[in-house]
Structure 1
Amino acid sequence: MPPRKTPSERQRRLGAELRKLRTGARMSGDEASALLDIERTRISHIEAGRVDVPRNGLHKLLRAYGCAEGPLFEGLMEMAQDRGKGWWDEFRDTVGPMGRDLAELESRSLALRTHEAVFVPGMLQTEEYAHAVITEAESDPQRVRRYVEFRMGRQQVLEDSPVTYRAIIHEAALHAQIGGASVMRRQLLRLIEVSRLPNVTVQIFPFEAGAYSAFSRSFVVFGGRVAELDTVYLEHPWSSIFLRDGERIDEYAKMFERLSDLALAPVDPESAPESHESRDSLSLIQHVMYRL
């Protein structure tokens, strides 16, 4: 099978981790290829995510690289066995590789931590709100419809998987009149409703908390069973990127906790009105909603 031209993020990550382990073991590409009795160029393709490595070959490489059996070993083996097929493949006609990578990462994650400085996070958007946001960047009605369907499909992991989802949303996102007052009112109601899910936590970062949220910008931390394989996604209109470096991931994880400390207490839809002795995320959302 010829090398693939556009590896998925999972395939690139597996290759990058194998390269890191090989160089850490001070083993050359020639030595690794001799171990599997394959051409040297194939090791390069494996480490770039362009070709797959058989299960027994991966097992042999990991042992030779000094990766002891344990969480990382098992995580890499599982990553290699995953075929990456899912509901997101039905959207290849519209959604690009990075969007599909996001859906696959979300489906494989056990914990999602997202900070959004401008919009309500896509995982929490109503269909109307998503339509209004996407229409700003896409004029073709058919493509808009497909993008909205894709975004709604991504949200299923909140109910169908054991993922823990934490969102910190800047107050500015509550005031932006995306789609008009009625659309925003229903979107704010959605934030309250989704907070009833036991695995979802929503916090609002208020204006008075300062500029830390603006400097942090928007990002998502994808966490799995193995911390070494966590990923950070930085969204940008022209060049969104995935970060795989452990130190950078730690920085964003700490950044998220700092944002959480500065943000208002999480939305708790079941709390009694008299329990709100000080302003919290729920009271701020309700305040903005009632003024629309």
Structure 2
Amino acid sequence: MKHITFFLFITTLAFAQKQLTVLDSVTKIPVAYAAINLNNNYGIYSDANGMAIVTDTLVNIVTISSIGYADKTVTIQRKMQVVYLAPKPIQLNEVIVTQAKKIKRKELVVKPKIHKDTRAFEMSRATAQYAFLVPAAKTDAYITAITLPLFKIAFEAEGYPGVFEKIVFRTLVRVEILANNNGLPGEKLNDYEQYAVITNNINDKQFDLKLDEELPLPASGLFVQLTMLGKADENGNLSKELPYTNVDRNGDTTIKFFKWMQPNFPLTERPKGTLTFVKFPFMENSSWQTINEPALHEQKKYPDFNIGFGYTTVSYQ
């Protein structure tokens, strides 16, 4: 009977899983990394082939979205289901840069803020989005690279008593450019998207990412948005591991929460100018917030916290 019970349990799990494949309705090409909102304050992303697996048995209706497509809400009816998204032209703000002849190239490197203080660091969570401001330059300029400060050790938050460990990680992120809306991240500024696997070894203090192209810096500045899509496998593909987990409390209550994941970022005191914001896009009332406390209860006493991302800009004179 034990063997039969185990078989039935596995069978139930198999049937509970529902696979969605997201395709472009015109080209029938997979829509990579589409956001699949489970409409319960949680969500997942499709992989590079537009495929995602929904394992939550209580989820029957999902809303799927991706930049350049109309949102679509569907009822999950089958174990394997194809969803077609209709292309939708998006209105992007035009950035006009009047550039002189490229006689002299001047580079400005803003270094990231790095420290080792375990009382002040941000523990990233799957699907989280970070946006940091790149202020306007005095002359026409372009952003060419960003630098992520890394906290070299991770904390096992659920461990007792809990220990710090050096952990090698691979995380797939999406880089996008947002408008500066009076000091807050605004709408997407252009159609630029870049995907990268953020990784480290135990000695890395930062991760440097060169952008695929030189992006013009508007007179009002811009925000760089990082979306933590999830863990990446050895080939750089999005892992099938769910970004959230279910925890049973008292045997009768199930609580969901997004999984902690690296990179972890060192936190610094909030400056007057360059700020970092964070949000969780699948939450019902998702909005950009500043970071008001570090991950651990033993914390530095700052009024607000900030992540000191670095960046590189160039100007031509």
TM interval, short-chain normalised: under 0.3
Structure with more strand by fraction:
2
TM-score by length of 1: 0.26
TM-score by length of 2: 0.25
Q: Which has the higher contact order (CA 8 A, sep 6+)?
A: 2
Structure with more helix by fraction:
1
